[in-house]
Amino acid sequence: MLTAVSAWQEALSAEIQARFGVALEPAQIPFTFPPKTELGDAATTVAFALAKPLRRPPAEIAGALAGTRLPGVSEIRTAGGYMNLFLDRGWAVERLLSRGFLPAGVEGKIIVEHTNINPNKAAHVGHLRNAVLGDTLVRCLRYLGRKVEVQNYIDDTGVQVADVVVGFQRILGWKLEDVRNLIALMADFSETSGSFLFLQELIDRWHEYWREENLHRFGLNGLIPGQACPTPFPPAYDFFHGAMGRFDSFCWGLYARVAPWYALSDENKQARLDTLHLMEAGDNDTAEMAALIAEEMVRCHLRTMDWLGIRYDVLPHESDILKTGFWASCFEKLKASGAVHQVPAGSEDKNRGCWVMALQESEEFKGMSDADKVIVRSNGTVTYIGKDMAYQLWKFGLLGRDFHYRPFPGAPYPIWRTDAGTAMESSPAGEGATAAACAPSKASAVLSKASAASSESVILASEARPESRAGKEGFRTSRNDGMGTGAAEAETAGSTGAAALAPPHFGAGAGVYNVIDVRQSYLQKIVKEGLRQMDHEKEAERSVHYAYEMVALSTKFVRSEMEKGAHFELSEEELAKPFVEMSGRKGLGFQADLLMDRMKDRALAEIESREPELAKTDRAQWEHRAEALATAALRFYMVKYNKNQVVAFDLEQALAFEGDTGPYLQYACVRAENILRKAAEQGLAVPDPADPAALAECAPHFDEEGWGLLSLFMRVPIQVKMAVDSLDLNIVARQLYDAAQAFHGYYHHFPVIQEPDPAKRAARLLTVALFARLLREGLGQLLGIPVPDRM
RNA sequence: GCGCUCGUAGCUCAGUUGGAUAGAGCGUUGGCCUCCGGAGCCAAAGGUCGUGGGUUCGAAUCCCGCCGAGCGCACCA
């Protein structure tokens, strides 16, 4: 089906050919929007483009073309060289509702990889930017009709996990069993955490636990010489180590203490290497502890992101890339294509003995002093970049191998993780490898249901709509409310045996987006170059690094925290800069869950000040609304900036609910729906936008301002396309914000229910109804922002 | 040294790919709730778009130079 804009382009192209004898590709005809809606619904500047070849002034050309008949266009008015289109309003509304302004869809599955947090500490605001941008991209691609698979890569074998293991074993002196107990205790806490309502209770239980049985057993006090922190763990709702009662947060604090501990002696440093070796060897307590920590950490991260409506389809694990022989296959291909060569061991080259990829031939890397990139070290081990190339090949279905898969246990929704296949035989879980992997959990039940429903079309977890994904408690679900999957699925869990589960066919995408911050641009370029050198030019072209700038902490904010007693190793020079980079290793950052707690607390207070009764009568509703507000505030904050803008995180700015914020957009929607509700209560008929008769009746009575408001939504599909093409997703946020702002102005100036003229009133009710529907849809589908019924 | 990015109102940022009078939010000042919830609306003040050249009907946007800032350029991930 021809979309509106392309139909206009073709008609104009034909007209230009006929009238001026100039051949202009339809796609070359530029369509934009007038700066003010009263100037028109859409505009083209094609007359300017024709001025030069025709040697005639733009205004004259525009005038000559103004009579062109375009589908759905009732009039073309010229203003200088501009040609402003006024649409037939009934036609336009119909198109708005049927997505008639969407560009034509494209076939082929797109793989989006995002989040990718090292599973050794809590997520911080920088990870949130990654996840929100990644998820928003996914939503935009789906809106445009693409099929999307979402991957969250888990590096469960690296030094970061090893460091936390060292922290537990060597600094705290804990055994595998102690970590297991801690996780069990924390999991219990996690069910209720996330609100100040429960905070004191948590802190009390926490202190009781440590005081009564564990504090002196583990000898936790004053453990690390040379550390400024007087106690190993903060006593209360401490700012930077905060979010008490959460395992990921506990590890955040612990991890920050490992680097100083390494600095104490060479012996300590050796612990990292020893740990890495044990992890690699497997079949020992250290390796098991690492796996335990990584898995629980991923669970924490999944929950954090799920609260924001961010989901994944599959969790590729680095350990499985290694165990499944991905690298061996990739290495063969690299060697066979001549993309890598070995530097002779006897040479003077600093890379002697390594397998390197030569980059000097490539335009992208010219001017580099050292144009060779080491892929395999002289000791025969593969670098990160090599593993990433293998992963990238798999994403495009070029590797000739696949993972095995199993449900990821204990996730807040059904999700698959990779598996090495044979590794399960030696799994310590013991009770028969296959049965353990496919145990009848809620997750596997839902997954088997999904695959039973259709062996061809697979329901991906990340495709679930906000409306259906959240239980009745709303977005922020915890473990005890049905895992957010709804009651129906949960009921079937018990009756489903260890049925043969068929995971969807992961990987083999037609295009790939890697959402990774800009600091990795160089490495991502090399991965792309690797594809090219392996003669996969087409895939290299379709391999997109979505690079965005980092989130740092504004020094203003850091200073204010230090004045409140927070402790950081920062020089005066660093504090003189506008912002400081976050560092998990230093414990310098702001944890995601803590930010969300703060937002929720702020929202709870705001709601209570407006509706004091609610807090007393319906706490669940109170919290539900607060969570929706927090999600909106956070997601909008993360997406409203240009991707090239360093976000200097400032708590006060992030916590704002007024002005250019998520709640402002929700408020517009809530007010609109409230007007409709009030109208219905008073017995007024609200015209149904989908009813052609009602539409025909109302269309002549739209006020110009109301129409201008609705016409903003015609821009959305085009803006989304533009946002995806440029990866500047703030365009989408901005567009919906503009619409919300226009509505606030509109209803202040135009009474709806009070309007005495029935025809005008009906048209205004229709305007409000359309606005509410389009904004709610846009916020949910594009930005992942839920709208509560009331605020 | 080489490469990438940024510099727009007091502050934080937009600016629809070169187009219409450079716009929002915060903050400041002054108005607006017996009337669809004030998380809102209206108005005022606030700009040499870092700077100097160039390209053309037209430049915040493209090109070149300079000034200032950030990030990359490992046998780390």
Q: Which residue is nearest to nucleotide B58 (CA to C1')?
A: A48
* Residue at the smallest CA–C1' distance to nucleotide B35: A754
Instruction: State the virtual CA torsion across A565, A570, A573, A574 in degrees, nearest 10.
Output: -100
Task: Please state, in angstroms and rounded to a whole number, the distance separating the CA atoms of residues A636 and A107.
Answer: 30
* Site of tokens 């994904």: A469
User: Which pair of structure tokens corresponds to residue A115?
Assistant: 């989040």
CB distance A665 to A629 below 8 Å = no
Two tokens, residue A445: 């039940």
Q: Which nucleotide is nearest to A36 (CA to C1')?
A: B20
Q: Nearest nucleotide, C1' to the C-alpha of A667? A: B39
Nucleotide B36, nearest residue via CA and C1': A675
Taken in order A452, A456, A459, A462, the sign of the CA dihedral is positive
Residue lying closest to nucleotide B23, CA to C1': A35
Task: Calculate the angstrom distance between C1' of B66 and CA of A67.
Answer: 51
CA gap A141, A105 in Å, rounded? 10
DSSP A103: P
Q: Which residue is nearest to nucleotide B11 (CA to C1')?
A: A653
Among all strands, which nt has the closest C1' to A723 (CA)? B16
Q: How far is the CA of A545 from the C1' of B37 (A)?
A: 45
Report the distance from CA of residue A712 to the C1' of nucleotide B49 in Å, as an integer: 27
**CA–CA separation, A447 and A444 (whole Å):** 5
Nucleotide nearest to A765 (CA to C1'): B36
Nucleotide nearest to A625 (CA to C1'): B39
**C-alpha span between A71 and A594 (Å, rounded):** 53
DSSP state of A190: H
Q: Residue A520 CA to nucleotide B9 C1', Å? A: 35
Residue A28: per-residue pLDDT? 85
A365: which DSSP letter? G
Nearest to A550 by CA among A198, A26, A129: A129
Taking the CA of residue A472 and the C1' sugar atom of nucleotide B34, their distance in angstroms comes to: 39
Name the nt closest to A663 by C-alpha to C1'. B39
Residue range A556-599, pLDDT digits in tens: 888 887 777 666 778 888 888 889 999 888 888 898 998 998 89
CA angle A279, A126, A157 (to 5 degrees): 10
Nearest nucleotide to A377, CA against C1' atoms:
B75
- Which residues in chain A show pLDDT less than 50? 1, 192-199, 202, 206, 209-243, 423-458, 465-500
Q: Which nucleotide is nearest to A47 if distance is taken from CA to C1'?
A: B19
Say what the pLDDT of residue A265 is.
86
Q: Which residue has the tokens 């329901």?
A: A459
| CA separation for the pair A154, A332 (Å, rounded) | 24
CA of A402 to C1' of B19 (A): 52
* A109/B57 CA-to-C1' distance in Å: 45
CB A702 within 8 Å of CB A768 = no
Contact residues for A582 (Cβ-Cβ < 8 A; gap 6+): A124, A125, A126, A550, A551, A552, A553, A588, A589, A590
Question: The complex's ipTM?
Answer: 0.96
* Euclidean distance between CA atoms A108 and A287, whole angstroms: 39
How many CA atoms lie less than 13 Å away from A133 in the CB half-sphere? Answer: 35
Contacts of A779 (CB under 8 A, 6+ apart): A632, A665, A666, A669, A736, A785, A786, A787
Q: Which protein residue's Cα is closest to nucleotide B40 at C1'?
A: A744
Instruction: Quickly give A190 CA vs B2 C1' distance in Å.
Output: 49
Q: Which nucleotide is nearest to A609 (CA to C1')?
A: B39
A315 beta partners: A417
Quickly give A624 CA vs B36 C1' distance in Å.
25
Q: Which of A44, A81, A49 is nearest to A64 (CA)?
A: A81
Q: Identify the DSSP state of A471.
A: B
**How distant is C1' of B64 from CA of A716, in Å?**
38
Which residue lies nearest B77, CA-to-C1' measured?
Answer: A384
- Tell me the CA–C1' distance in angstroms for A130 and B26: 26
Name the helix (H) or strand (E) containing A151.
strand A147-151
Using the CA of A352, give the nucleotide whose C1' is nearest.
B75
Residue nearest to nucleotide B32 (CA to C1'): A748
DSSP H or E stretch at residue A576: helix A572-576
Closest-CA residue to A569 (of A554, A556, A585): A585
Query: What's CA A35's distance to the chain center, in Å?
Result: 31
* Residue A568 tokens, joined: 């950081």
Q: Which residue is nearest to nucleotide B70 (CA to C1')?
A: A646
Distance of A359 CA from B6 C1′ (whole Å): 28
Q: Which nucleotide has the least CA–C1' distance to A578?
A: B69
The token pair that represents A107 in the structure block: 């076939």
CA of A52 to C1' of B54 (A): 21
pLDDT of residue A335: 95
Q: Are strands A340-342 and A355-358 parallel, antiparallel or unpaired?
A: antiparallel
Q: A476 CA, B42 C1': separation in Å?
A: 38
Query: What region does A182 belong to: left with phi over 0, alpha with psi -120 to 50, or beta?
Result: alpha
* Chain B footprint positions (protein CB, under 7 Å): 1-6, 12-17, 19-20, 24-27, 35-42, 57-58, 69-77
* Total residue count of chain A as it appears in this document: 791
Q: Return the closest-CA partner of residue A103 out of A144, A44, A146, A142.
A: A144
3-state secondary structure of A197: helix
CA of A363 to C1' of B3 (A): 12
Find out whether A343 and A349 touch, Cβ atoms under 8 Å.
yes
C-beta atoms surrounding A645 within 10 Å: 11
What is the distance between the alpha carbons of residues A245 and A202, in angstroms, rounded to a whole number? 7
CA of A427 to C1' of B60 (A): 61
State both tokens at A183.
Answer: 């996780």
CA of residue A641 to C1' of nucleotide B50, angstroms = 21
**Rounded distance between C-alpha atoms, residue A123 and residue A154, angstroms:** 13
Sign of CA dihedral A354, A360, A362, A366: positive
Q: From the alpha carbon of A664, which nucleotide's C1' atom is closest? A: B39
CB atoms within 10 A of CB A372: 18
The count of other CB atoms within 10 Å of the CB of residue A577 is 13
Q: Which nucleotide is nearest to A677 (CA to C1')?
A: B36
Contacts of A52 (CB under 8 A, 6+ apart): none
Query: Per CA to C1' distance, which residue is closest to B19?
Result: A45
Q: Rounded to whole angstroms, how far apart are CA atoms A105 and A720?
A: 13
Q: Return d(Cα A546, Cα A508) in angstroms, integer.
A: 19
Coil, helix or strand at residue A733: helix
